[in-house]
Amino acid sequence: MNLPEPSSIHRVGVIGTGTIGASWAAYFLARGMEVQAWDPAPDAEAALRAFVDGAWPTLEGLDAVADGASPDRLTFHAGPAAAVDGVGFVQESAPENLDVKRTLYAEFDTALPDGVVMSSSTSGLIMSELQAGFSNAARFVVGHPFNPPHLIPLVEVVGGTGTDASVVDWTIDFYNAHGKKAIRLNHEAPGHLVNRLQVALWREAMDAVLTGLASVEDVDDAIKYGPGLRLSVMGPFELCHLAGGPGGFSNFLDHFGDALQQWMNDMRTVELTPEVRAKLKSDVAEAVGGREYASIARERDTLLLPVLSTLARTRREHGLH
């Protein structure tokens, strides 16, 4: 398949400008690109521009704004076909609904320029189902970011059964060439990889609250002030390898394998019945208290900024990956 050099892309289309799409737009703009956006919401353009303006100081604080980059390179278009006209890459971030996304794809499928990849931000839908029957299915791929994409580097990439293998390779190269950390998934799975890892944690967090083991506040603090700190610098297998001492992961399994099996056997399935949902909603609302959504988001970004900055600087200085 004839695809351009990933690092040469200077204009992207952003389809869907909700929380994720707006963050993607801010990121691409900060990388010095032109962004052509579209979203059907009546106030979408104003909300998008407000988001970009609000994110810009944070990106500048991370030294993540390229020379010459500007929010003025954002244009908003009347429809998805117009938004993909003349671009070198498309990031789709429509609502997480199979029918909604397929209806949207039908609107711009034939308008997608030759040699242009369309990457979906879907959190867990299967690309094979999303792309089926479209003329440009071979250039449709999943590029799932993490909220907020303008700050969190990771993108997981996986193709569907109709995706050309070279498109997966190209998409990984594209994200990496433009400052992201892209990982390859070898096959499709509902929720991809990272959301499945997160769901395992969320299941145990919910179970702890439901069984009275700990409060919502203490569950959150347990992660923030404990394993969350280590997990910001190393992955689970690396940390287990260190936990095994000089004998590494092999020693870890030999010493802790039986205990791990006992703990895993004790883990329950959490059924999100109406009653369970009501209790969790009530407990979380009580724990959050009067803190508004925007205030919590600002707190997240304020705390993330020095972490990301320090990690990036330290990795550069010590040649760490």
Give the model confidence (pLDDT) of 120-158 as tens digits. Answer: 999 999 999 999 999 999 999 999 999 999 999 999 999
Q: Has residue 257 got a pLDDT over 90? A: yes
H or E element at residue 99: helix 98-108
Q: Has residue 105 got a pLDDT over 90? A: yes
Collect all residues with Cβ–Cβ distance below 8 Å to 48 and sequence separation of at least 6.
17, 21, 22, 25, 37, 39, 74, 76
Q: Which domains does the chain have, with CATH numbers?
A: 6-184 (3.40.50.720), 194-289 (1.10.1040.10)
Cα 157 from Cα 129, distance rounded (Å): 16
Q: Has residue 230 got a pLDDT over 90? A: yes
Rg (CA), the chain: 21
Q: Rounded to two decimals, what is the model's pTM?
A: 0.94
Q: Has residue 290 got a pLDDT over 90? A: no
Place 321 in a pLDDT band, splitting at 50, 70 and 90: confident
Low-confidence winner among 4-18, 185-199, 248-262, 307-321 (lowest mean pLDDT): 307-321
Cα 252 from Cα 241, distance rounded (Å): 7
Kindly report, residue by residue over 291-318, the tens digit of the pLDDT: 999 999 889 988 998 999 999 899 999 9
Q: Has residue 205 got a pLDDT over 90? A: yes
